């Protein structure tokens, strides 16, 4: 997409400069061909291909990154309030809710149920997935998967008041073996 | 002096006579200005002042973000600053500026003397000035809106924004929107009806086509926002829960209403600028615009598409992916009509013999910047990409590339092109070039970096960021670029002043253009043309140098004055054949007075002095009615001579005068708001949580419905009988007043006493507002009917002079229809609720 955009940009600006400064440039092309060629035949195939590719890619992301999931995703809940995120783990028996840090296992698709009870927030971990809004009165779902253990920064990306800039959180990805222990340790604190 | 009153004079005497009729008086008389030259320039100048204020706010933002350790503003101040920056640039700069340009230029391009409703343009200007000033005063007082320029609720609700801040936005912007809407209707009517004889639709200058499409989009696009603002203000003031999810409201309703306006808004801003390019670029290419017809087709398709892609602002709210892909495809498709225009411009240059001058420099800036903005727009139209980039600085970069590229650069080209027309002087070249390059380079340094900042994960609207985030260098570069750009704009402002002071005067038509605005002396006289031109070919292929002296010597139509009246020609819409003499009302202070009473209305709501609001509204209506006396006639007139041996009826005796069309367009705008309200209620039924309501919608017995039905039928009949010829007109109108009053009373009674408490649930609130909406229209109906009675008493009505009764008839029929639908709507909603949620 980037390379294509650079090419198209250079093409249009180049044509503008050429038609202005190079005498008789492009005069052999009839006005009709200019308009039909540049206005219809140039953009349409690109847009069609791009739209279908984006549709396919969107479906892929909605599944949570992997192929068709063989195992059911691990469900966690993210609840936004002014101005922090609280996470709970309905699929893990006995896990206590956490604030500011979401613990997930690696190598498994995680389905996050995103909600809010005050204003609109948006849940975003740039390195793991796209964003989804937390809208009072609605629940939204986002699937993501971390392949490597580590800390992934997250932010609220919908303006939600004066604490918006500080409404950051961390996604901590643990290997499958360490995961339950890490959650238990949170509960012990 | 001939029998019918027309006075023919020498060119100089004719100039003085016309000027006495059309001019704006000096001193206090300036406040009575209605002339489009004055009002257009005021709009543009005021918009430039607001642009400067918005620009200063942008500098504050860039100062704050230049470093991660900036303690310049706190979060609350920063929120007010970024909210006001966006609000000012969109609502107080971009729209009013192009309106001003259109108001100034259109009558000249179309070959006429003024807009269709000069008092309306003056009123619109004062509304804009007062509404905008309300926002600026709030900013200085530290109580400016602070929820972002699209005011997402619940953040902007009374719970999370308890102060006056959000009310300032909702009321101030609605105030300004009145001016935008009235300007849009006026522009449509002017383009359709007030052209030079012979200027058929397919001979119109291309700028008029652009403005016709833009004004149509405004008439349909602005009402959803006005409605949404009213609903949110009612929620804040009276606790009607339209957007409160705990009581059956939905924050997403606001987003849909806002972007249903907000997306077309982008094209509403871009198209006038594109119209300026389509006008200017062919002049510098030295040949007529290539692809006139396909460009018009592209415009119309763009207008249609623009109403079908608002959801691309809402990809992350949880709408199913299949639904999003439809809007994604529509958003991508809008690139096609844009590309058609761009390649039509390239074809025009390539087939001409291009000259390069300052306006062309800015058009180069447009090509460079707008194409990047368009390409990132296609990227953002792709759903998966947007899930990443949405609400980051990438979007900030994109929207500035689109709006500065697609509006500011073309408008700068336009100012440099038409400033000689306004000032009578030609630009001094050197400073113009330096200023352009500073703005151009500064802009790209500032905003290109923001693409990268956004892709590295920086959200919008954060007032601070941690040093370890890795955004600091990019932000610092952006801030430095923005200061260069600001200096560039300061130089441009200086350049404009220098042009007025030191520019070289010129004889006529400095750019060798082929459009009518140059067929007059510059600076232009208040009446534009001493006689109206006859157009026999496409109106960008004319010869202003030859036409100008001919028109000045009175050889066109209406080359005389008659009884001190402001006269111009109304034409048949498609063919441009003259069909009526339109007589405009004179300069007056009434628009100013009306705007002051309107301001009193908005301020009384803002400060919760609800007892004052109806008084202010009544005062406004009385002043409006006072406007019409200027052109009312108490006797029938014969045909009026227009020159060249032809004679036409006056508009008062014409079948379809400008005011008839204005009525139709105003009702279309009103229908749009009403339909948005109905669909909004149905949207809540489908989408909002906490439905169905605990308490069913009780709609009462059949008796009041039967009475209402009789009243509505009477209204339609009485309206028709009053405007049809015959006696007893006044009697029918008395009946109409009575029927309107009964209908309004029943609707109010249903809303207040029969329907459940509107504060309990959004369903009840919807029914409440739908009923009151119709009741308000019946209230206005009594005014129309009462005004008709007064006109009959004064002798202003005859079988030939029944225009105001016919306008009233349209209103009577329409309000009766509204009354019927509104009364049935709660029944329908109750049925849907008891049928279960979908």
Q: What is the mean pLDDT of residues B248-274?
A: 95
Q: What is the pLDDT of residues B435-461, one digit of tens each?
A: 999 999 999 999 999 999 999 999 999
Contacts of B346 in chain A (CB under 8 A): 12, 15-16, 19, 26, 34, 38
User: Do B766 and B691 form a contact (C-beta atoms < 8 A)?
Assistant: no
- Asked if A156 reaches chain B (Cβ–Cβ under 8 Å), the answer is yes
Contacts of A153 in chain B (CB under 8 A): 457, 469
Write the pLDDT tens digit of every residue in B648-664.
Answer: 999 988 989 999 999 99
| pLDDT of residue B770 exceeding 70 | yes
Rounded to an integer, the average pLDDT of B230-237 is 96
Cα separation, B494 vs B427, in Å, equals 12
Which residue among A13, A133, A155 sits closest to B317, beta carbon to beta carbon? A133
Q: Which residue of B has its CA nearest to A136?
A: B245
Q: Which two tokens stand for residue A71?
A: 């195992």
Architecture of domain A74-188: Sandwich (2.60)
Residue B389 lies in a domain: yes
Per-residue pLDDT of chain A (189 residues; tens, 9 = 90+): 788 888 899 999 999 998 888 888 888 889 899 999 998 999 999 999 999 899 988 888 887 765 555 568 899 999 999 999 999 999 988 889 999 999 999 988 999 999 999 999 999 999 999 999 999 999 999 999 999 999 999 999 999 999 999 999 999 999 988 999 888 888 766
Among residues B505, B523, B557, the one where a domain terminates is: B505
Identity of the residue in B324, B333, B347 whose CB atom sits nearest the CB atom of A47: B333
Q: Is the pLDDT of residue B696 over 80?
A: no
Q: Is A140 on the interface with B (CB under 8 A)?
A: yes
**pLDDT in the model for residue A65:** 63
For B44-56, letters b (16+ CB in 10 Å) and e give bebbbebbbbbbe
Any B CB within 8 A of A15 CB: yes
Bridge partners, A155 (sequence order): A124
B257 within some domain:
no
What's the CA gap between A173 and A171, in Å, rounded? 6
User: Does position B684 have pLDDT exceeding 90, yes or no?
Assistant: yes
CB contact under 8 A, A42 and B339: yes
- Domain containing B759 — which CATH number? 1.20.120.80
Reported ipTM: 0.94
Looking up tokens 């809540």, which residue turns up? B684
pLDDT tier for residue B633 given thresholds of 50, 70 and 90: confident
* Highest-confidence segment of A18-27, B24-33, B690-699: B24-33
Question: Does residue A92 sit at the B interface (CB-CB below 8 Å)?
Answer: no
Per-residue pLDDT of B302-325, as tens digits, reads 999 999 889 999 999 999 888 899
Residue of chain B whose alpha carbon sits nearest to that of A157: B459
Q: Which of B402-411, B577-586, B623-632, B675-684 has the lowest mean pLDDT?
A: B623-632
Q: Is A187 on the interface with B (CB under 8 A)?
A: no
Peptide bond into B566 cis (omega under 30): no
CA distance B432 to B15: 35
Selected residue of A23, A24, A47 to mutate for chain B interface (largest B Cβ count, 10 A): A47
Least Cα distance to B163 among B608, B530, B595 occurs for B608
Of residues A17, A43, A138, nearest to B318 (C-beta): A138
Tell me, what DSSP letter sits at residue B503? P
Structural contact between residues A39 and A29, judged by C-beta atoms closer than 8 angstroms: no
Buried b vs exposed e over B113-145: b needs ≥16 C-beta within 10 Å?
A: bbbbbbbbbbbbbbbbbbbbbbbbebbeeeebb
Q: How many CB atoms lie within 10 A of CB B500?
A: 12
Q: Which of B453, B473, B505 is the last residue of a domain?
A: B505
pLDDT at B476: 95
Mean of pLDDT values over B296-307: 94
For B824-836, the pLDDT digits (tens) are 999 888 888 887 5
Helices of type H across B390-471: 393-403, 409-423, 429-455
Last residue of a domain, one of B477, B505, B533: B505
What global pTM score does this model have?
Answer: 0.95
pLDDT > 90 fraction of chain B, expressed in percent and rounded: 83
HSE, CB side, 13 Å, CA atoms: give it for residue B443. Answer: 27
pLDDT at B2: 44
Using an 8 Å CB-CB cutoff, list chain B residues near A14. none
Distance CA B187, CA B104 (A): 11
Given CB atoms, is A59 within the 8 Å cutoff of chain B? yes
Q: What is the phi/psi pair of residue A35, to 5°?
A: -70, -45
Distance CA B385, CA B387 (A): 5
Q: Which residue of B has its CA nearest to A24?
A: B350
Residue B725 lies in a domain: yes
Averaged pLDDT for residues B505-509: 87
Q: Does A152 touch chain B (CB under 8 A)?
A: no
| Chain B environment of A32 (Cβ under 8 Å) | 291
Chain A residue closest in CA terms to B317: A133
CA distance B509 to B545: 7
Bridge pairing between strands A101-105 and A121-124: unpaired
What is the pLDDT, as a whole number, of residue B428?
A: 76
pLDDT recorded at residue B836:
58
State how far the Cα of A175 lies from the Cα of A182, in Å rounded to an integer.
10
Please tell me the number of Cα atoms within 13 Å of B432 on its side-chain side.
21
Average pLDDT, integer, range B388-404: 95
Chain B interface, best mutation among A14, A18, A34, by max B CB count within 10 A? A34
Residue B394 belongs to domain spanning? 356-505
Domain span(s) for CATH 2.60.40.420 in chain A = 74-188
CB-nearest to A19 from B336, B346, B461 is B346
Q: Is A96 on the interface with B (CB under 8 A)?
A: no
Round to the nearest angstrom and report the end-to-end CA distance of chain A.
47
Q: Do B246 and A159 touch (CB under 8 A)?
A: no
B26 part of a folded domain:
no
């Amino acid at each position: 997409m980037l390379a294509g955009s650079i090419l198209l940009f250079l093409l249009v600006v180049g044509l503008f400069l050429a038609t202005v400064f190079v005498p008789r440039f492009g005069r052999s092309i009839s006005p009709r061909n200019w308009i039909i060629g540049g206005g219809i035949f140039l953009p349409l195939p690109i847009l069609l291909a791009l739209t279908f590719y984006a549709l396919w890619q969107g479906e892929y992301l909605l599944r949570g990154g992997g192929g068709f999931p063989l195992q059911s995703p691990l469900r966690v809940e993210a609840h936004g309030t002014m101005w922090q995120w609280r996470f709970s783990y309905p699929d893990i028996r006995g896990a206590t809710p956490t604030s500011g840090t979401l613990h997930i296992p690696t190598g498994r698709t995680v389905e996050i149920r995103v909600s809010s009870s005050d204003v609109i927030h948006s849940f975003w971990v740039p390195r793991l997935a796209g964003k989804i809004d937390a809208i009072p009165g609605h629940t939204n779902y986002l699937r993501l998967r971390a392949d490597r253990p580590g800390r992934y920064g997250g932010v609220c990306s919908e303006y939600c008041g004066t604490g918006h800039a500080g409404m950051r959180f961390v996604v901590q990805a643990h290997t499958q073996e360490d995961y339950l222990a890490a959650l238990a340790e949170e509960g012990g604190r | 002096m001939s029998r019918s009153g027309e006075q023919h004079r020498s060119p100089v005497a004719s100039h003085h006579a016309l000027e006495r009729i059309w001019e704006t008086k000096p001193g206090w008389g300036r406040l009575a200005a209605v002339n489009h030259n004055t009002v257009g320039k005021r709009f543009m100048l005021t918009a430039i002042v607001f642009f400067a204020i918005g620009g200063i706010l942008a500098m504050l933002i860039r100062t704050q973000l230049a470093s991660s350790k900036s303690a310049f503003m706190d979060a609350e101040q920063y929120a007010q600053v970024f909210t006001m920056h966006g609000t000012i640039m969109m609502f107080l700069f971009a729209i009013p500026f192009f309106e001003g340009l259109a108001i100034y230029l259109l009558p000249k391009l179309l070959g006429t003397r003024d807009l269709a409703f000069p008092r309306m343009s003056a009123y619109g200007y004062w509304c804009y000035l007062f509404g905008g000033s309300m926002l600026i005063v709030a900013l200085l007082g530290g109580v400016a809106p602070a929820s972002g320029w699209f005011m997402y609720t619940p953040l902007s609700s009374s719970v999370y924004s308890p102060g006056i801040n959000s009310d300032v936005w909702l009321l101030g912007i609605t105030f300004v929107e009145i001016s935008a809407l009235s300007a849009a209707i006026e522009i449509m009517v002017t383009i359709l009806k007030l052209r030079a004889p012979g200027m058929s639709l397919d001979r119109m200058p291309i700028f008029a086509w652009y403005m016709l499409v833009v004004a149509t989009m405004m008439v349909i696009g602005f009402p959803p926002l006005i409605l949404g603002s009213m609903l949110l203000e009612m929620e804040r003031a009276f606790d009607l829960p339209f957007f409160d999810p705990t009581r059956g409201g939905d924050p997403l309703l606001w987003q849909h209403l806002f972007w249903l306006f907000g997306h077309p808004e982008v094209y509403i801003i871009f198209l006038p600028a594109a119209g300026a390019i389509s006008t200017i670029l062919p002049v510098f290419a030295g040949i007529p615009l290539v692809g006139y017809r396909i460009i018009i087709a592209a415009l119309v398709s763009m207008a249609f598409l623009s109403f079908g892609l608002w959801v691309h602002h809402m990809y992350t709210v949880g709408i199913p992916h299949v639904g999003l892909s439809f809007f994604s495809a529509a958003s991508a498709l809008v690139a096609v009509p844009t590309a058609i225009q761009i390649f039509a411009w390239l074809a025009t240059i390539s087939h001409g013999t291009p000259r390069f001058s300052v306006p062309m420099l800015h058009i180069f800036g447009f090509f460079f910047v707008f194409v990047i903005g368009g390409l990132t727009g296609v990227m953002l139209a792709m759903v998966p990409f947007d899930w990443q980039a949405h609400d980051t600085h990438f979007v900030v970069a994109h929207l500035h590339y689109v709006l500065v590229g697609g509006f500011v650069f073309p408008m700068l080209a336009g100012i440099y092109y038409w400033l000689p027309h306004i000032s009578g002087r030609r630009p001094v070249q050197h400073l113009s070039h330096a200023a352009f390059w500073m703005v151009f380079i500064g802009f790209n340094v500032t905003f290109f970096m923001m693409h990268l900042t956004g892709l590295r994960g920086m959200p919008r609207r954060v007032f601070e960021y941690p040093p370890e985030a890795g955004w600091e260098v990019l932000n610092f570069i952006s801030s430095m670029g923005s200061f260069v750009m600001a200096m560039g704009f300061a130089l441009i402002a200086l350049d404009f002043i220098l042009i007025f002071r030191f520019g070289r005067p010129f004889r006529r038509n400095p750019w060798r253009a082929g459009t009518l605005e140059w067929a007059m002396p510059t600076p232009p006289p208040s009446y534009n043309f001493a006689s109206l031109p006859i157009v026999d070919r496409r109106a960008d292929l004319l010869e202003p140098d030859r036409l100008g002296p001919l028109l000045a010597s009175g050889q066109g139509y209406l080359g005389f004055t008659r009884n001190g009246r402001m006269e111009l020609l109304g034409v048949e819409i498609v063919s441009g054949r003259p069909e009526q003499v339109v007589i405009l009302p004179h300069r007056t202070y009434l628009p100013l007075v009306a705007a002051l009473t309107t301001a009193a209305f908005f301020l009384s709501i803002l400060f919760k002095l609800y007892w004052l609001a109806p008084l202010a509204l009544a005062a406004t209506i009385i002043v409006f009615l006072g406007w019409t006396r200027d052109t009312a006639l108490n006797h029938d007139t014969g045909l009026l001579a227009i020159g060249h041996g032809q004679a036409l009826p006056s508009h008062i005796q014409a079948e379809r005068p400008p005011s008839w069309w204005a009525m139709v367009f105003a009702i279309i705008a009103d229908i749009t708001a009403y339909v948005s309200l109905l669909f909004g209620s149905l949207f809540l039924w489908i989408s909002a949580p906490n439905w169905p309501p605990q308490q069913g919608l009780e709609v009462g017995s059949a008796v009041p419905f039967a009475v209402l039905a009789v009243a509505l039928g009477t209204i339609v009949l009485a309206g028709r009988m009053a405007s049809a010829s015959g006696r007893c007109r006044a009697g029918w109108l008395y009946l109409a007043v009575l029927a309107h009053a009964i209908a309004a009373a029943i609707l109010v009674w249903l809303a207040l006493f029969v329907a459940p408490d509107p504060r309990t649930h959004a369903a009840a609130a919807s029914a409440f507002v739908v009923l009151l909406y119709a009741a308000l229209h019946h209230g206005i109906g009594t005014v129309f009917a009462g005004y008709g009675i007064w006109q009959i008493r004064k002798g202003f009505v005859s079988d030939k002079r029944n225009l105001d009764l016919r306008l009233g008839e349209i209103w009577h029929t329409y309000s009766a229809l509204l009354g019927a639908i509104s009364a049935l709507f709660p029944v329908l909603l109750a049925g849907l609720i008891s049928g279960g949620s979908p």
